[in-house]
Amino acid sequence: MIVLQRIGPSDRVVARARAWIGTPYRHQASLIGVGCDCLGLVRGVWREVHGPEPEVAPPYGASWAESAPRGSDPLAEAAGRHLVPLPRPDAGTEPEAGAVLLFAFRAHLPARHCAIATGAGTMIHAHDGAAVTEVALTRWWRRHLTHGFRFP
């Protein structure tokens, strides 16, 4: 007897994100196997799961977060337009698999990095100087976690 397991939306997001593992880091790129940055990874998974991107990402420099107008959070604002907000996971909870996670590296600055939670305390992300990889969502990352969203 063959048993078919139903794959839910979060399983599809995680599977698509894992397909990007090994893609080299390329600032502002979003092509699987060719290159992407953290936002490009999320944009690419969106295209694979939902179709065309809902808005074009504007050009951005490596230090775009530092030059954002005071009090604004452009990455979180864009995510809020197209993704479903989740309660911010605290130290004792795990982000749901498939959640888009946003991180700020200084308390007074907006979020400037994103990743996709894979469950069991791990996430997939792209960072400068490396390829897309799945890593532990360590205490350091949790301390800098500012927002969580899920794909619609």
Share of the chain above pLDDT 70, in %: 91
Structure tokens at 109: 């600055």
Q: How far is 91 from 139, CA to CA, in rounded Å?
A: 8
Nearest to 26 by CA among 123, 103, 126, 134: 126
Mean per-residue pLDDT for 2-9? Answer: 58
Share of the chain above pLDDT 90, in %: 72
Q: How far is 95 from 108, CA to CA, in rounded Å?
A: 23
Residue 115 in this model has a pLDDT that exceeds 80: yes
Domain layout of the chain by residue ranges: 9-51+72-150
DSSP per residue over 40-106, as a string? Answer: HHHHHHHHHHHSS-SSPPPP--TTGGGGSPTT--HHHHHHHHHSEEEPPP-TTSPPPTT-EEEE-SS
pTM of the model: 0.90
CATH superfamily of 9-51+72-150: endopeptidase domain like (from Nostoc punctiforme) (3.90.1720.10)
Residue with structure tokens 């792209």?
A: 126
